Structure 1
Amino acid sequence: MIETAPDRLTRMLAMVAYLRDNPAVPVAEVAEHFAITEDQVIADVNTLWVSGTPGYMHGDLIDFAGDDLDHGVLTLLDSREMDRPLRLSPGEAVALLVALQSLQGAALAPEDSALVEETIAVLRTAAGEAAQAADAVELVDRRREVDDRAARIREGLLAGRRLHLRYVSASDQTTERDVDPLQLLTDGERWFLVGWCHRAEGVRHFRVDRILEVQVLDAAADAHPDVRLTGRTEPDTARAEQVRLELASRARWFAEQLPDAHITELDDGWLELTVGVVDLAWLHNIVLALGPDVRAVEPASIAARLSATAQSALDAYAALERH
């Protein structure tokens, strides 16, 4: 499995703190401590060696003792304060306070609720006058709306009746559709409706917080004995249409966000991403947004549809320019 960029960044920052507290450590010992190979330790050090603070001249970069490294030992000479605790700006402190205060109304376990309250108290003290700005932010609780929709979905499930949804998809398209409800699931943070969508003629997963309206219809929901319910809150993308993309390395952030995606490093630094796609409209939006960071799409039928969508967009822009 390819290591994600956030995981590597976290390890490298931890390595700086570790080397500050443990001078002249053999590379093998560092590799054992972080459960990585010695080659990966050297790769991390080489990346840190060209990292630092704005200016990025020689005196602005993290520095190691080169002679020690030649003998298989790591000695940190200058951390550029990367080993110091983070100091929040007033704006960052307010944003964090607002986020924590929004958690207070959530259904947290007692120990989690106590931790949130303690963190808020500490942060308010550290933020000083800036904490007053957080008190001026009005938090709108959308959980009640979500709970109401979940209750109507549950009503349809128990009564065996079809639902009518007005829904905003991940591709930011608003549609109306009739759905036979099959399951109502939660991952602990969000509710999901699994249902047979008559518009798509297949099973779809709907995030309840993206449902704008839900109506319980008089029509009875059809039985779908062939549908295999997995209990997962996300679509089974392994059973969806498999699409292969070639992405530039700077689009790695996108690839790492996809569940069940398979990422392969290509020899020229690009990435090969294979992912199951349920909603082709979502794929169209993503590929158009990534633009030159996508150089190949397979199968050819999907590539042709993407090309036609892109050409339609270009034609629309050209028509605007003529007018």
Structure 2
Amino acid sequence: MLNLLPYFEAHPGRSIMEAAGDLGYAPQQIMDDLNRLWCCGLPGMGPGDLVDLDHSYPSVRVTNSQGMDRPLRLTQTEAGALLLALESLENVGGLTDRDAVVSAAGKLRRILPASTATVVDSVVSDSFRSAAPPVLETIRAALDNRTILAFGYYSAASDATTHRLAVPARVFTKEGNTYVSAWDTAAGTHRTFRVDRMDDVVDTGETGDPHLGELAFNSEDPFSFTSVSCHAEVRILEDAVWLADYVPLELTGTNPVDGFYAARMPVSSHDWFIRFILGQGGRVLVDGPAELVAEVSERARAGLAAYHR
């Protein structure tokens, strides 16, 4: 936030929209930070002690920065922590400009004392330095060139592998896994594919349209679970609450009842949900809605009947 003052002093009259593009912040966040700075100043908080600026969306001018007219300098500890984060990011899938991350890490490494840089380098494992998988490089190239990818994809929802043609629109990571949102040419809509479930990925070189204007992406909810209309009321065994770290479920009960916690799950695929419940072997029980309870019971009876044929 304090870096806004030297920025606008160096660029008097620049609009908040231009600053947002330069600094990578949302315009509303910049306006909120400027409003806070307007109420800050030196001890005494009397006339002449406060930061003074004339700010609006079309133009920002700083008339009194109270001496905060230079970018903040990182301490050795802060620079080391930033270098550690950058080195960990270098090979994370979904980076739109990996070269910028590598360049920033290199600059920090050059200015840090050798002792600090060595400690940071020893913490980051070799796995972070390994080259990005070829499949991810192919996806990135298709994303940049707007070309169609051909690949085989295993869907956990249907438990089947199908051939797909899709135009990448966005690459992102979630909980350690890399995904690509792409326009599925057969379905005529966007689909999300997990990269480690994609096989024989080939860039066809054929130009396609990723339909970016139709891509609704929320980083907090990349799989649109909040928009799912069907939710299941379930109970989870007390010893199995760790499942909440791996599947989209929300614990609704604060205390267990008869050894089970109440929870709620979005159901975007009935087939996947039923297979998930049956695969838990009694650790997760379905209480509703009634049609889901009936489907799970029917599938369980059919499975048991197969053993007596």
Per the normalisation by structure 1, the TM-score is: 0.47
TM-score of the two chains, using structure 2 as the length reference = 0.49
Between Structure 1 and Structure 2, the one with more helix by share is 1
